């Protein structure tokens, strides 16, 4: 005889029909201070996300109490910005741990689907020139289209390919390659690289390198630190500066490149799920990569909305492992010529 199987609503089991569920949690019922302190963002920003993601989050469901897009977004923001998973955040909006997990997954997927809309290099000439002008205004470094670096985010040990995710500190991580502009807006974010890969290898294999080598900007370059090889499109500092011009070049390079370090600190401070203070991301490398990318999308959207105050350094223990760089000497004679011309033209 067939035995009927009941599909149980976790929220119903935990709270019963009379519980104050998400459907009754209204943004207008709470203060802006509460929203910022609990979910990390003000009311109008959350309304914008509801408009942006609402269609993706309003999928058909057999459940009698589908969770609204507004609630799903609040749940995900609470996780991203606090680094604390379910109990406290779920209690705040009246959903179970299982529902909280589904909300984070749904919102993450919706944000990742829109990554190319919010994270990209400018294409029109006027915007590209404005990008260069902004960088030049920082420290006098001309022709800069972005600053590039890698940062590690801690993850739990995956079931497979375990050693490939172990970084130099012996921790499991993803090595994330990012490029930002002078304001900290991300122009590129590749968040899936295993933590064992050194920065130079990540860049060599990245879509970013292929993009610059085959498509982009013959009249500008990225700035990278000494963990990368000098390229025609990537200017690195001089290992041992000797002349006044070389010292001035290195100083301008360092002051400009510092923008990406400040951007990493802002990401970790705003999105505490990335900073390691609450533990590692408890997901597979693929899902962890998507969460990091979702936070990058939110970072750019927040800058579009004027939420661009530089944050203080994060307190988490999982910062970018400081590598003892072996200077990446370039065998690219054309790249060396371009850097030398830059020295003579702008720093002599």
Q: DSSP for 92-142, please give it.
A: HHT--HHHHHHHHHHHHHHHHHTHHHHS----SHHHHHHHHHHHHHHHS-T
**∠ at Cα 67 (97, 57), nearest 5°?**
110
289 touches 191 (CB < 8 A): yes
Residue 148's DSSP bridge partners are: 179
324: its two tokens: 């003892």
341: its two tokens: 């011309």
Q: What is the mean pLDDT of each successive set of 10 residues along the chain, which is 348 residues long?
A: 41 38 64 87 94 87 68 92 67 76 94 97 92 96 97 89 86 96 97 96 95 78 96 94 95 97 94 83 94 98 83 46 52 89 93
pLDDT of the residue at 43: 92
289: closest CA among 147, 171, 115?
A: 115
Burial string for 228-259 (b: 16+ CB within 10 Å, else e) reads: bbbbbbbbbbbeeeeeebbebbbbbbeebbeb
118 touches 239 (CB < 8 A): no
pLDDT of the residue at 83: 79
* Cα 127 to Cα 132: distance, rounded to the nearest angstrom: 9
């Amino acid at each position: 005889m067939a035995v009927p199987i009941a599909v149980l609503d976790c929220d119903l089991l935990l709270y019963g029909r009379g519980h104050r569920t998400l459907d009754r949690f209204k943004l207008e019922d709470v203060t802006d201070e509460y929203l910022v302190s609990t979910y990390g963002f003000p009311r109008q920003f959350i309304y914008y996300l509801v408009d942006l993601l609402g269609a993706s989050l309003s999928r058909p469901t057999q459940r009698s109490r589908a969770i609204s897009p507004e609630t799903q977004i609040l749940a995900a923001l609470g996780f991203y910005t606090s680094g604390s998973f379910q109990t406290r955040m779920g209690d705040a909006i009246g959903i179970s741990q299982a529902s909280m997990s589904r909300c984070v997954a749904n919102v993450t997927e919706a944000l990742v689907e829109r990554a190319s809309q919010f994270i990209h290099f400018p294409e029109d000439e006027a915007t590209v020139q404005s990008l260069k002008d902004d960088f030049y205004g920082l420290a006098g470094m001309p022709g800069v289209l972005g600053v590039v670096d890698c940062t590690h985010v801690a993850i739990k040990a995956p079931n497979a390919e375990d050693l490939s995710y172990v970084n130099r500190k012996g921790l499991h991580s993803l090595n994330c390659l990012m490029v930002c502009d002078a304001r900290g807006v991300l122009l590129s974010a590749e968040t899936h690289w295993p933590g064992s890969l050194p920065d130079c290898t990540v860049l060599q294999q990245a879509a970013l390198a292929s993009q610059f080598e085959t498509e982009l900007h013959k009249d500008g370059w990225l700035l990278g630190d000494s963990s990368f090889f000098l390229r025609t499109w990537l200017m690195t500092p001089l290992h041992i500066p000797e002349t006044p011009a070389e010292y001035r070049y290195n100083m301008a390079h360092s002051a400009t490149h510092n923008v990406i370090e400040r951007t990493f600190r802002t990401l970790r401070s705003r999105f505490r799920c990335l900073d390691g203070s609450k533990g590692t991301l408890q997901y597979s490398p693929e899902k962890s990569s998507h969460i990091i990318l979702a936070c990058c999308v939110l970072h750019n959207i927040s800058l579009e909305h004027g939420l661009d105050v530089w944050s203080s350094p994060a307190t988490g223990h999982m910062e970018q492992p400081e590598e003892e760089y072996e200077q990446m000497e370039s065998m690219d004679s054309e790249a060396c010529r371009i850097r030398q011309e830059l020295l003579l033209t702008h720093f002599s």
